[in-house]
Structure 1
């Protein structure tokens, strides 16, 4: 007889929201990695493109802070996006030591492609939930995250 996680996981764990959240996040991360990976994209690429579209041009440092990407990774991530023609990096006219990153039209198009991929992943992850339940879950998770936001480290 084959065993499943439900057969072997203690009921105490299965009834704990933090355990459920952790395991759901693991599955979600894997699905997103696989889906974005088919296009050579990563979560941090999506985060950077989304931030640039929503907030406009920004320094590398401010993008890293806004997206929760560690300083040691931001330059490499921007280099990848620039090499693909999705962003432009120019010296900041106000401070030549800084670079300003700008979303290109190709970057905006790429973001829309990644939005579609992400929507498909969201549908796969939350297939058992109705639209109303998804909205409720999103609100509840946002509230919990906001409560703990001061403790949050790098997101990517």
Structure 2
């Protein structure tokens, strides 16, 4: 349960990193959802488009694994992206049972628009931190994520 605005938060929580991370993550998720909502998009859309832009064409299964998106969700999200002409599905010449997903020019434009919005979200979320503190936070969160995801 989230504390109500202005309610005193017990010191045990204010000094517990897991609680602080959870509360901050919930706030970040709301900001991202609002920002991407302006594009009738969600985080999954951005994740898949970003992966295609950075790594190039991929199978649906590879995209799901790379982005941490469940296989059944990948299909639904790709259907939405394909309907907007942001990605193209083509049969894999090496295995016609698989589809290869490619980012379209429209998809790349939309990814950049979404990225600009997410940059503004980061600025809002991290407003109280200096640039060096933002870099340090990112470094520390990366270390935690790498450790717990086995990287």
Matches of 1:40 and 1:120, distance apart in 2: 17
Mind listing any 5+ residue stretches in structure 1 that lack a counterpart?
Answer: 152-156
Q: SS in structure 1 opposite 2:98?
A: strand
- Post-superposition offset of 1:8: 2.7
Structure 1 segment 32-43 matched on structure 2, within 5 A? 32-43=32-43
Matches of 1:142 and 1:92, distance apart in 2: 34
Structure 1 runs (4+) greater than 2 angstroms displaced: 3-8
- Bigger RCO (CA 8 Å, 6+ sep): 1
Query: Which whole-Å deviations, capped at 9, do the CAs of 1:75-125 have from their partners, x for residues lacking one?
Result: 010000000000000000000000000000000000100110000000000
134-143 or 3-12: which moved more? Answer: 3-12
Matches of 1:72 and 1:43, distance apart in 2: 16
Structure 1 segment 36-55 matched on structure 2, within 5 A? 36-55=36-55
Structure 1 segment 65-144 matched on structure 2, within 5 A? 65-144=65-144
Q: SS in structure 2 opposite 1:63?
A: helix
Matches of 1:100 and 1:27, distance apart in 2: 35
Q: SS in structure 2 opposite 1:31?
A: helix
Q: SS in structure 1 opposite 2:150?
A: helix
Q: TM-score, normalised by structure 2?
A: 0.95
Matched, 1:21 2:8: no
Mind listing any 5+ residue stretches in structure 2 that lack a counterpart?
Answer: none
Aligned pair count? 149
- Post-superposition offset of 1:5: 4.8
RMSD of equivalent CA atoms: 1.5
